Amino acid sequence: MNKKNVKRLLSYLKGSTGLVVLSVLIGILFGSATVAIPYFAGRAIDNLGDIDALLKLVTNIVVLIIIAAVLQFALIKMNNRIAFSIGLRLRNAAYAKMHRVKMSYIDKTSAGSLQSLIISDVETVSDGMLLFLNQFASGLATIVITLAVMFYINWKISLIVVVFTPVSIAVASFIAKGSYNSFAKQSEIRSKQTSFVAESVNNFRECKLYNVTDIRIKGFDEINGQYQKTATKATFLSSISNPSSRFVNALIYAGVVFTGCIAGIGGTITVGCLMSLLAYANQFMKPFNDLSAVYTELSDSFACLNRIFAHLDSPEIPLDKTPEELPDKHVQFDIEFKNVSFSYVEGRQVLKDISFKVGKGESFAIAGPTGCGKTTLINLLMRYYEPDSGDILINGRSIKEIPRSELRHYIGFVTQDTWLSDDTVMENIRFSGAHITDEKVFEACAKSGCDSFIRKLPKRYNEQIENERDDISEGQKQLLTIARAMASDPAIMILDEATSSVDVVTEDRIQKAIRELLNGRTSIIIAHRLSQITSCDKIVVIDGGKVSEIGSHDELIANGGFYSRLYASYISG
């Protein structure tokens, strides 16, 4: 619970400052009202023979009870709003950060871990803040005012409480510090647990296919066992904080009872004042008990908060420079890779001094064995990553001068991995923007060949679909992603194994639609099926991260080089 994190957390109170001030004031008033009740109760005991005075004092007590109840209701409602407003801002910041971080961060962080951080960890922080807000102001006011009244009644007896209170605080603090490490480890294992479950759900069929269900269950049991062990320790440590403080407080209370009774026997204190002091001794320690319990609960919150702030501090993609003039989306583009080298891990180059040029309106294929760096070239063109050296130019301009959002606006991208959002068919096709009309959606679906199966769906284009829907085949999902790219009317088209999930008949239909789509557009095609790229204007062959050869299909076959051998292996296989 370092000061830096506390100060940073308080920055998320912006917009709720007025509510916080009001909450503190109400907390002080609530504490004051509860402190006044034992004082009037003690005076009532001392006025048992005076009915008028007794009725007046009892009336005061009843009024104070009602006021305290109303103030507590307002305090809880207000603190709920403050705590979950902080949660809202933290969750928004964490989710927005996810879209600004470098792609390498996303690659190294599991989806389950990010889900746990944005949902569970933020929720834990909100709950901890709520507990703290409900206890802090009223508890502090209760401690200060109670101590003042106790000294007013009998300062000698009150000294016993003051002298031994630090013992209670020290015990709670010692236990809370011990519980923090356990809560931090619990948060880490919870993230791992969420990731494991997400992985099992997303790959449920593969687990069944390879008969690894028992292994996955055993794996989850191990993680769950670790969580149970760590959570038990953390919960135990946090649970004994309050009883330990109460034990010390009970000893203090016993001391007040003993010295108070001695003073009563000596006639230096009335019965009513003694009863008030005993009530105050108990009331004085209650906020310490409550705050010590809150302090240990905050250990879990701050462990989660550390993970959230670590996420928020992760490196971001540098801000783009706004160019003086952006090219028209509907003009033709050429693309040039100039001496591009790149490595995901320092010292292990994936691409080495890559140079080639795609002419305006030219269809350009990238071929090579698996792992040679074909998809990496596309990742660099899309600016998911930046080259270690060299540059990539569009119409002679470095893509570093073009904002990423604008650059990707020019490009249509169909990958081998299909993804559909939980929405209607119409909105999935119109995913790139509301500017795409219904007519463009219908046209794109007709060209891609998915219109026929869409019209067989119960609600046709208004049918709700999502990525895991079983009654839509992988091939049909692929057709929908192709239609989505067509509807965006890109200037540059990239196809990365775009027909990998369709049958031969469907593939033929898609290829015809793609040829129409690519007509007049600059296009880059990656395909393991070399038959799909034989008609491309040029083919660049990548081998071992380097350009092996460039030319048309016929030229490369005639050269008898690596591509010729690769193609011969393909057609014979």
Q: State the pLDDT at residue 204.
A: 63
3-class SS of residue 526: strand
Q: How far apart are CA 7 and CA 565, in angstroms?
A: 65
Mean pLDDT of 454-471: 79
At 503, is the pLDDT very low, low, confident or very high (cuts 50, 70, 90)? low
How far, in Å, CA of 167 to CA of 357, rounded? 76
Same domain, 236 and 93: yes
Closest CA to 311 of 117, 546, 136, 158: 117
CATH of the domain at 48: 1.20.1560.10
In a domain, 21, yes or no: yes
Is 245 within 8 Å of 289 (Cβ atoms)? yes
Establish if 138 belongs to a structural domain. Answer: yes
Residue 39: both structure tokens together = 């004082």
Domain boundaries, position 437: 335-572
Among 251-255, 265-269, 436-440, 467-471, the range scoring the smallest mean pLDDT is: 467-471
Helices (H), 203-212: 204-209
- Percent of the chain at pLDDT exceeding 90: 3
**536 in a structural domain:** yes
Distance CA 112, CA 96 (A): 17
What is the model's pLDDT at position 500? 59
Tens-digit pLDDT profile for residues 204-258: 666 665 667 777 788 888 888 888 888 787 777 666 666 776 777 777 778 777 8
Judged against a pLDDT cut of 90, whether residue 518 lies above it is answered with: no
pLDDT at 547: 87
- 72-100 per-position pLDDT tens digit: 899 888 888 888 888 888 888 888 888 88
Residues 165 and 24 placed together within one structural domain of the fold: yes
Do 272 and 347 fall within a single domain? no
Last residue of a domain, one of 278, 312, 346: 312
- The secondary structure of 463-520 as a DSSP string is -EE-TT-TTS-HHHHHHHHHHHHHHT--SEEEEESTTTTS-HHHHHHHHHHHHHHHTT
Q: List 340's β-bridge partners, or say none.
A: 354
Please check whether residue 540 lies inside any domain of the structure: yes
Check whether residue 472 and residue 515 sit in a common domain. Answer: yes
Same domain? 280 vs 199: yes
Indicate if 343 and 305 belong to the same structural domain: no
- Same-domain pairing of 290 and 360: no
* Residues 399 and 343 both lie in one domain: yes
User: Which of 551, 504, 493 has the alpha carbon at shortest distance from 532?
Assistant: 504
* pLDDT (0 to 100) of residue 238: 66
* Structural domain includes residue 245: yes
DSSP assignment of 146-177, as one string?
HHHHHHHHHHHHHHHHHHHHHHHHHHHHHHHH
pLDDT of 70 higher than 90: yes
Give yes or no: residues 302 and 444 share one domain. no
Three-state secondary-structure class, residue 355: strand
**In total, how many domains does the chain have?**
2
Residue 403: its pLDDT value, please?
81
pLDDT of residue 108: 79
Query: Within a domain: residue 319?
Result: no
Higher pLDDT, 501 or 484: 484
Tell me whether residue 377 is in a domain: yes
The answer to whether residues 216 and 354 belong to one domain is no
Note whether 72 and 104 are same-domain residues: yes
Share of the chain above pLDDT 70, in %: 84
Looking up residue 425, the CATH number of its domain turns out to be 3.40.50.300
Compute φ and ψ for 327, nearest 5 degrees.
-70, 150
pLDDT on residue 499: 63
The mean per-residue pLDDT over the stretch 314-326 comes to 69
Q: What tens digit of pLDDT does each residue of 367-420 get?
A: 877 777 788 888 888 888 888 899 999 888 888 888 887 887 788 888 777 777
Are 247 and 355 contained in the same domain? no
Per the confidence metrics, is the pTM higher than 0.85?
no
Residue 88, in any domain of the structure:
yes
